[in-house]
Structure 1
Amino acid sequence: MSGLRNRCYILIAFSLLLLTSHASLSFAEEKSDTGGEDKLVYIIPIENEVERGLEAFLQRTTEEAEAAGANHIIFEIDTPGGRVDSAGQIGKLMQNLDIPTTSYIVNEALSAGSYLALNTDNIYMSPQATMGASGVITQDGTAADKKAQSAWIASMKGAAESKGRDPEYAIAMADADKNLPEYGAPKGEFLTLSPQDAVEVKYAKGIVNNRVELLYELGLSNATIVETETTLAEEVARFVTSPIVIPILLSVASLGLIVELYSPGFGVAGTMGLISLVLFFYGHIIAGLAGMEAIILLVLGIILIILEFFVPGGIIGIIGVGAVIGSLFLSGYDLGHMSMSIAIAFIVAIIAAVILFKSIGLEKGIFRHIILRDRTTSDLGYVSSIARTELIGKTGVAVTPLRPAGIAVFENERLDVVTEGNFIDVNKKVKVVKTEGMRVVVREI
């Protein structure tokens, strides 16, 4: 009996040893995975306004991450929002990524920024961060029409649902008619979530103070980190494709052209106008908005405008201006905004032209080459070969009534004469006051 008991004890001890060994091995594996030593993480910033320049930057960096075999992408978000159409394109880009993604809201993810965060797998927030206030606002500060609002609300709802989040709160971020007073958003106000509220409604997975804490929470504290930055070209593209900068660039370009037309040689105004035009197209090319067709149309338009100064008619110049305007429309991402920008530039050009014409006239600049200035006046020594200047001052007698033309005799020479406008009777004495070619003007004495 005691032998059986001993064998049982040995069996139990052996079983406990196996369980302990398995638990220790599992813990060791889990510990090694937690650090993520063999993982590659890309950090991609989403800062400032959401626009097409940002879209081009994110397209490049996410493609780099995929090509490098990244295991995780962290988007560090700090943006007040921006263009809805650009946000939509970026959202599609995020949804198509096969790499796990996390949004780390450093400061704010408002408007279009909240939509971008909703398109990632995880959301973490810093203690001072905010997320929401996503209503669609037009450039003049008013609410967008119902059609645009409805489409945007549907986009916010879809983004939340795609990652398993309750869409009610995403809708409230974009729809002021929702009523969520417990989260500071009564009816008439857009929802903005604090970090605590975001965790409570399961939009955010946690609150972290910095990137180090975030990597630890993701189990990637020992992973290889690659920080991406915008290139100089992308910075320029983001700046010049801003809705505020575009009308300024076009206005400077048109103003420089007009001033240059009134200036001798090619100076500062023309250089500024040319640089503005180059910046506009350069930025739009980098952002993927302007293609070769826009550049070809621009060059063709400029050539036609130059030819207009040498070919009479005006049609070539009109076609050239139309080609330049067409190239601008081809480069724009929003027809309405581009129309407004071109209109502003056109008004600036007209005002400048009127001011310069009144102050300078057509005495300088390129106009001096296309305006005929030679005059064949008598004070410059030009005399007609048949002019009778020797008659000026001579007196004679009208032999016919002058009404106002007629005949008068001067030293036995009969001449066709004309008065200054009044009638002179026959036999009245007259005096020659001036001659204009064959025309002899007389006045009654």
Structure 2
Amino acid sequence: MNEVGKNLRIGFFLLLFVIAGMMMPFFSSAQSDSAVHFIPVEQTVERGLEAFLDRSIDEATQAGADHIVLEIDTPGGAVDAAGNIANIIQNTEVPITAYVTGEATSAGAYIALNADNIVMDPNATMGSAAVVDGSGEAADEKAHQAWVSNMESAAQSSEHDRDPEYARAMTDPEEPLSMYAEEALDVDYAETLVTDRDEVLAFLGLEDAEQVDSEVSLAEQLARWMTNPMIIPILLTVGGVGLIMELFSPGFGLPGIVGLGSLGLFFFGHLFAGFAGMEAIILLVLGLIFIGLEVVFTGFGIFGLLGLASIVGSIFMASFDTTQILLSVFIAMVIMSVAAVLLFKYFGRIGFMQKLVLSDGVSTTAETTETGEREELVGQIGRSLTPLRPAGLMTMSGENFDVVTEGRFVEAGNDVKVISVSGSRIVVRAVDGNSKQQESGTS
């Protein structure tokens, strides 16, 4: 019995030994199964980049990354976007290292200072972080001091407790400090110099870690471009000019397609970046419906005004910065006004522009009668020579007149009645079917 028990014990231990041997590869792989996520921070710092970093850092965290490396090469950009990115970095539990591969200028320097570590390529630079306003001039004293405070706090927030004097010097509006990699290393603004990712991993003690790349998708690239503060006024201007031209041109053509396309790009970028909600899209669609009603049924009237108001409202709802969108809308409105004057005053009747804007529908040599104060025209009935949207030409008793309707659209060839005359302004109204039959002989 004792011999049997002894054999059982030996067999049990042998079984445990075999099981342990079989499990060793799993333990070994688990211990070496580390991953470092490399995320690019490139081009201009703006809200599109913020959305990309938010998504990439969240995915790295969810995947159980051991470390995150931000590969920074940026000339800087928007202060508000840099501040939001800094908050994302600070609220991430996974340690983050800033790897400056090219330049970390302005907002890029601020992002780097918020990381747990900074490593730099020997040819990289960091600094030159003076804050400027939208026109490129030095920001006012209040904004400047707030930015200086942010830079100093970022320098001192990490465990390295960097000297804030250098961060302050980077924000000097007259001669901002920019440091080469060796200089940054000397003043402890960089922990080490590296030439490639392998050296970054060696510095982190993760030589065997898997390297995971976070790539910017095509949609994110488009979103970054569409949310660029320099591109937004262009999109709004092209969209506005296209819709205005469509209001005064028959049918639906190239201006409307271009206008809708530009607005569509604006909203796509802001929707994908997470700035526009469904309420903004609903308001946009409502505005386009009003514009469509205006084009089909009337001249520039209540539907047109409601449509433009709805579209402008949706633009503000989709924006991420009220000040920025106000500036963009203002720029767009100024350019739209100038473009409208040039298009309709100088180019409306020549070349291919005749297909884009309203044409008289009669020979350009046709003469119109000078009306003066001809009160006797009131009550008379003529016929529209061109569509009245609301302005156009009317013929009456062998004479042609420039007229305008009360606001409703009137097709060419319809009978119209003169309602009032004020100087050279003749206001007409479409007559009903009975009036057409009774007084058609006067046209």
Q: Is TM (by shorter chain) over 0.5?
A: yes
Distance in 2 of aligned mates of 1:204 and 1:379: 85
Amino acid at match of 1:257: L
Contact 2:360–2:393 (Cα < 8 Å) also in 1: no
Amino acid at match of 1:332: S
Distance in 2 of aligned mates of 1:140 and 1:375: 53
Structure 1 residue matching 2:387: 3-state secondary structure: helix
The reply to whether residue 368 of structure 1 matches residue 356 of structure 2 is no
Q: How does 1:135-214 map to 2 (within 5 A)?
A: 135-163=130-158, 164-176=161-173, 188-214=174-200
Distance apart, 1:264 and its partner CA: 4.2
Distance in 1 of aligned mates of 2:399 and 2:294: 35
Number of positions where the alignment pairs a residue of Structure 1 with one of Structure 2: 336
Residue of structure 2 aligned with 1:300, choices 274, 277, 286: 286
Runs of at least 5 residues in structure 2 that lack an aligned partner in the other structure: 1-27, 350-357, 362-385, 401-438
CA offset digits 1:362-399 (Å, max 9, x no partner):
4269x93745766453599xxxxxxxxxxxxxxxxxxx
Instruction: Pick closer, same or farther for the CA change 1:357–1:313 going to 2, 3 Å.
Output: closer
Amino acid at match of 1:202: D
Distance in 2 of aligned mates of 1:143 and 1:313: 43
CA offset digits 1:292-349 (Å, max 9, x no partner):
1211222222222333453689344323322211111122222232222212222232
Contact 1:264–1:364 (Cα < 8 Å) also in 2: no
The reply to whether residue 350 of structure 1 matches residue 347 of structure 2 is no
Residue of structure 2 aligned with 1:58, choices 47, 53, 56: 53
Q: How does 1:258-297 map to 2 (within 5 A)?
A: 258-297=244-283
The reply to whether residue 319 of structure 1 matches residue 306 of structure 2 is yes
Distance in 2 of aligned mates of 1:104 and 1:223: 17
Distance in 1 of aligned mates of 2:95 and 2:388: 66
CA offset digits 1:64-107 (Å, max 9, x no partner):
10110000000000000000000000000000111111110001
Distance in 1 of aligned mates of 2:220 and 2:399: 65
Instruction: Pick closer, same or farther for the CA change 1:379–1:209 going to 2, 3 Å.
Output: closer
Instruction: Pick closer, same or farther for the CA change 1:48–1:379 going to 2, 3 Å.
Output: closer
The reply to whether residue 333 of structure 1 matches residue 320 of structure 2 is yes
Contact 2:71–2:98 (Cα < 8 Å) also in 1: yes
Structure 1 residue matching 2:314: 3-state secondary structure: helix
Partner of 1:28 in structure 2?
Answer: none
Instruction: Pick closer, same or farther for the CA change 1:312–1:195 going to 2, 3 Å.
Output: closer
Runs of at least 5 residues in structure 1 that lack an aligned partner in the other structure: 1-32, 177-187, 381-436, 438-445
Distance in 1 of aligned mates of 2:360 and 2:84: 50
Contact 1:301–1:319 (Cα < 8 Å) also in 2: yes
Residue of structure 2 aligned with 1:68, choices 43, 59, 63: 63
Distance in 2 of aligned mates of 1:195 and 1:313: 62
Instruction: Pick closer, same or farther for the CA change 1:320–1:143 going to 2, 3 Å.
Output: same
Distance in 2 of aligned mates of 1:171 and 1:324: 43
TM-score (norm: length of structure 1): 0.70
Contact 1:74–1:104 (Cα < 8 Å) also in 2: yes
Partner of 1:81 in structure 2?
Answer: 76
Residue of structure 2 aligned with 1:377, choices 375, 391, 397: 397
Distance in 2 of aligned mates of 1:259 and 1:68: 51
Structure 2 residue matching 1:139: 3-state secondary structure: coil
Contact 2:41–2:74 (Cα < 8 Å) also in 1: yes
Amino acid at match of 1:329: F
C-alpha RMSD of matched pairs (Å): 2.6
The reply to whether residue 119 of structure 1 matches residue 119 of structure 2 is no
The reply to whether residue 240 of structure 1 matches residue 240 of structure 2 is no
Contact 2:38–2:70 (Cα < 8 Å) also in 1: yes
Distance in 2 of aligned mates of 1:120 and 1:194: 18
Partner of 1:98 in structure 2?
Answer: 93
Instruction: Pick closer, same or farther for the CA change 1:100–1:370 going to 2, 3 Å.
Output: same
Partner of 2:209 in structure 1?
Answer: 223
Distance in 1 of aligned mates of 2:205 and 2:360: 72
Distance in 1 of aligned mates of 2:300 and 2:57: 54
Amino acid at match of 1:363: S
Distance in 1 of aligned mates of 2:248 and 2:331: 21
Partner of 1:27 in structure 2?
Answer: none
